[in-house]
Every structure is written in C-alpha cells, then in structure tokens.
Chains A and B, each alone.
Chain A
Amino acid sequence: MSLFTIILKNLWQQKVRSLLTILGVGISISAFVSLRGLTYNLEKALQTTYKARGTDLIVMEKSTLDIFSSTIDQSYVESLKLISHVQQTGPILFYFYAVQPKQYFLINGWEPGCYLFDGLKIDGSTLKEDHDVLLGSIAARRLNKFRGDEINIRGEKFRISGVFESMNMLEDGTIIVPLNTLQRIKNTPGKITAVNLKLDSNNLFKLNIKQRDDIAQSVQNKINSEFNDLEVKDVQNFISTPFSTIFSFTWAISIVALLIAVMGIINTMATAVLERTREIGILLAIGWRKLRIIKLVILESAIYGILGGIAGIVLGYAIMRILVTLPQIQGFIIMQYDLGFMFKTLGFSLLVGVLAGIYPAAKAISIEPIEVLRHE
C-alpha cells in the first residue's frame, strides 16, 4: 500500500463528487484545448499553404492589422518584379461572399497564369474566361457542385471550369476567380489585397538557410526603404501577427476557464479535508509528518487535475471534431492531433491540480490532533 492507494480509495468512496469534479476540470480544460487547438490548426494550415507553394514574402498595406484589412494598388506589382532576387509575383485579392444562403466562402482573385496555380491539382481546366471559377474540393462538396456546373456570386453566374485540390484543406475550402473579375465584382478596379513573392533563393540549392534568410532580409529591406505605403513580411511573421491577437483572446478565455477548474478542485479538496478532519488528526497523532499529509492532499488534488486533463483533451478534441464539420467552418480548419500539445496540456492540468491542492493542504496540516481528540 502507498499514499496512492489511500487516494484512490478516497476518490472511489465519493464517486459522484469525484466524477463531477473531474468533469468540471475536464470542461474547463476542453475549452482551452478546443480554442487553442482551433487557432493553432488554422495557423498551421496557413503556414503549410504558403510554404508549400514556395512563397517567401508577402507584401501588403502598411500598418494594417491583418491581410483582410489591406488594400494596395496593383501597379506596385510591376515595381516589385524589378527587385533583385524576386523571381515571381502573385497578386491576390480576397473577399468573403455568400454563394448560397448562410454559406460563406473565401473568394480568391488570382491573376491567371501566376505561380500560385502551380501547386493546384485541377480536375478540369484552369481559369480561361472572366466567368470561370475554380472550386476547391471541399467547397465543391459543401456546395454539391461539379465541374461544368454553375454557381452564383453576387447575382452573377459563373461556370465551374475545374475542381482543385491544393496542399491543404484550408485552401480546398475556397473559390478562385480571375483577379480582374473579383476587382469588378467588388468594384475595386486596380486594387489588390497583397502580393506574394517567390524569391530565386529557393532555386539556389547550394545556399544554406542563413544565406537564404539573408537574401529574404535584403529584399525586405529594399521594399521597406523604397515603398512607404507597403509592408513586407516573411510567411512565419505574416501568419503569426494576426494570430498573436487571436491567441491573446483564447488565452484570456482559457485562463478564466482554468481558474474555474482550480476553484472546483479547491472546493472539492477543502470539503474532503473538512470531512476527514478526524482521520487526518489521527494520522498526525500516530506520528505522520505534516509533509506526508501535504503529499496526501496535493497528490489527490493533482490526480483530479490529471484525470480532468485527460477528460478535457478527449472532450476538447471531440468539440473540435464537431466544429470542423459545421458548414460555417468546414474547410478552414484541419483537424490535427498534436501529441506534444496533448502532453503540454496534461502537464498544465497537473500544475492546476497541484496549485489547487495548496490551500486544502495548508488547512489539513493546521489540524491539531489534540483538538480532534478533545472534541471526540
């Protein structure tokens, strides 16, 4: 027998209370897991898209919060092409439109023939006419449309010239139209959202990572010094900037959820200590050190944390699985199971349990055996 045996029997004795506490912690941890998981997976999906295509830098309007707020003149594209090491450019225009009631899609306006199309596996033909569209495979599934069918965007009919699969599901949930078509629909002629830049350093195989980074940095410096209206970011930075704000929000919500978990464990453990005042008093009377009593209480509390953590991870991923199937989100988020994140969450849950055990443990060692005996 060990302390662990006593703890497990304590938990088993109050089955309903133990279960409710674990569930309470689990719900809090699941909020953390699902929120963090959704944003993390979204960020990962974006990074995969850009990196797989070979995009090194993204040029957008200066001082905008995110790419969706950016608008720049298309005329910059020609100037950017002239910069040393810039191999290819991919101007883009983004917008969200409802294609069917309550079914919103990210519409990408791409210049036909630009390198952005290189990574697409198209079933059908690429964009040839102004009223051609390419549907990502997930978008096609959501709309239940096939190559040759028609869709309606803001009252205009478009022919689906092909259905594509790209490097990731995020992009497979979008619709691609010719850049000038989207500019016309949006009524923003000559305006684009951003320009993707592919540098020639990717083709120079003898270069090491440092040398490639130096080239990317030199191009960034050049753009920053020559174009006052523009801001250039590497892919990692471009994606993580808006996500840092999202992460701050998710952390704030998660911290509130975790505080609720801590309070739940404190409440359960404080009640348990109160109920076991006599037993703890007797353990102290027969010679148990206070340190062992602290271990007993904190270990029990930590077990609530760990079991709550496991429940939270299972519940959190279950919530994510449900969320990614919703029409409003489907295609934007890839469901990924991250073992590292799971272990970190478990570690965090353990910490929550240990911290929550401190107050009840302090209460437990404040019990005076003589008071217990005198009372009896």
Chain B
Amino acid sequence: MNDSVILDAKNISKFYKDGQVKAVNQVSLQVYAGETLIIHGPSGSGKSTLMHLLGGLDLPSSGAVYFKGRSIQEVCRSNGFRVRNFGFIFQAFYLWQNLNTLENVMLPLLELPLSNKERVQRVKEIIDEVGLIDKIDTSVKLLSVGQRQRVAVARALVAKPTIIFADEPTGSLDSRNKDNVLQLLRNMNKQRKVTVVMVTHENMHRDYYDRHVHLLDGEICS
C-alpha cells in the first residue's frame, strides 16, 4: 500500500424513488493504491450500491468519483478501460455455465488486443495461481462452489487490473472455502500489488485487509 489515491469519491449520493430512498448519502471515500479496503455493513446499508458507484457501474445522483484524478464516467467511456483497470467478483459468481474454466477466465481478455496464444498463456498462469490448473478444461457446472468462486477470482485478475471490486465474495461459501478465497485475494493483493475493495456484511480477520469503513443507512459511520 502507498499513499497515492487511486479512487476518490466526493460527496456521492444515490437516491431511488424520487429521492425517497437514500441508498448512499453524502459519502466521501478515498481508496489508496495497493490497499485492501473493506466496506463493512449490515444488509441494506448501501454497501453494494457504493461499490457499484466506485466501480463506475452506476451513476451517482450527486457528487462524483475520480479515478487517478479523472472522472470515472469519462474514463469508463474509453475502450478497454474497465477491462484493463477494474476486475469484478460477485457473490453469485456469474460464470457462463456452458463454458469451461479456461473459457470463463478468458472472457475479459477478448476485449484486449492479444493473440490467442498470449490469452491462453495468461489464463493458464492465473488458473494455476488460484489452484485450478487440473480443472482448466472442466465445465464450470461441474465445479464445487468454492472452485467456482476461484474461477471468478481468476476472471477478475486475468487482465491484470488496477483494482478488484469484490461484492460479498464469500457470501455463498462455507467457512473453509471462505478462508481460502479471502487468503487468495490477500495473496493477490500482496503479490500483484492489486488494490482490493471488498464489500461484506461479515466480520473478517484483521489479516485479510488493511483498512475498513463501516456503512450504516448509506452513510459512513467509522
């Protein structure tokens, strides 16, 4: 972790139903390059919405998010920006059921100007890192939930992004798989110097993150 701010959210809010529901309210948050930041909070506290806003998936009702000093809306419009800079991991994995491990992990790389050989090479490296090299040709339908989440982690990392956004990445896993995935993310954070922004409602061991913020009713309270 260093002191350079990679993401800067300034007074962002997200309202629904003509402002009656305030999912995120006047949140200012800085994410530093190379850190693992946990956004912690109970269900309905607005943490997933905040992550979507930080990742440029949603537009704030007010305020703005900056990536390395540039408006996130602006940079997300440029071709290949999101693939090169952001990786996403979701609680429900969101894998293509009719593709195998290799093919699922390769999906983001189809957006990058690489040869097929380079793509396969990169995919094999990351699949090896997440410990699924023996399942590389296996349909994801045949994998366990823990293995599926590892495929999702590999998919998020394969394009060597700057930041990984993980929304409840362990929400569907048992305790053993939870630890495995958290350790995997932490290792990637340390070894690859990738910034991790993780949303969770669970309490997590201090070893798995550098900093955490607590969200309640759409506002940061600690």
Main secondary structure of the interface of A (DSSP, over half): helix
Partner of A286 from the list B52, B58, B108 (CB cut-off 8 Å) is: B108
Chain A residues whose C-beta falls within 8 Å of the C-beta of B57 in the assembled complex: 285, 369-370, 373
Interface flag for B92 (CB, 8 Å): yes
Alpha-carbon gap, A282 to B159, bound state (A): 16
- Which of B5-13, B80-88, B174-182 is near enough to bind chain A? B80-88
Q: Do the beta carbons of B83 and A376 come within 8 Å of each other?
A: no
Chain B residues numbered 99-120 whose CB sits less than 8 Å from any CB in chain A: 99, 102-103, 106-108, 110-111, 116, 119
Chain B contributes a number of interface residues (CB within 8 A of A) equal to 33
A1 near B119: Cβ-Cβ < 8 Å: yes
* Contact call A292/B82, Cβ cutoff below 8 A: no
Contact of A287 among B81, B92, B96 (CB under 8 A): B81
15 of the cross-chain contacts (CB-CB < 8 Å) are: A1-B103, A1-B119, A6-B96, A6-B103, A9-B98, A9-B99, A9-B103, A10-B98, A285-B57, A287-B82, A287-B111, A292-B111, A369-B57, A370-B58, A373-B167
Nearest 4 CB-CB pairs, A to B?
A287-B82, A287-B83, A13-B98, A282-B94
Q: Return the chain A residue nearest B161 by Cβ.
A: A287
From the candidates A3, A13, A282, name the one contacting B110 in the complex (CB within 8 A).
A3
Residues of chain A with a CB closer than 8 A to B58's CB: 370
Which of the four size classes fits the interface of chain A? 20 to 34
**What 0/1 readout, one digit per residue, does chain A (276-298) give for beta carbons within 8 Å of chain B?**
00110011011111001000000
Per-residue interface assignment for chain B, residues 105 to 139, with 1 indicating a CB less than 8 Å from any chain A CB and 0 otherwise: 01110110000100100000000000000000000
**A292 and B110 in contact (CB under 8 A), knowing A5-B103, A10-B98, A287-B80?**
yes
Tell me whether B150 is interfacial, beta carbon within 8 Å: no
Q: Does A366 contact B (CB under 8 A)?
A: no
Residues of A with C-beta under 8 A to B82? 286-287
| B79 CB–A CB distance under 8 Å | yes
Having A283-B107, A288-B111, A369-B57, one finds 7 other A-B pairs with CB under 8 Å, namely: A2-B110, A13-B97, A278-B94, A285-B57, A287-B84, A288-B108, A376-B90
Bound form: Cα–Cα A3–B116 in Å: 12
Q: How far is the CA of A282 from the CA of B97 in the complex (A)?
A: 13
**Known contacts A1-B103, A13-B98; is-contact A289 B79 (Cβ 8 Å):** yes
B86 contact set on A, CB distance < 8 A: 287
Report Cα–Cα, A289/B98, bound state, in Å: 21
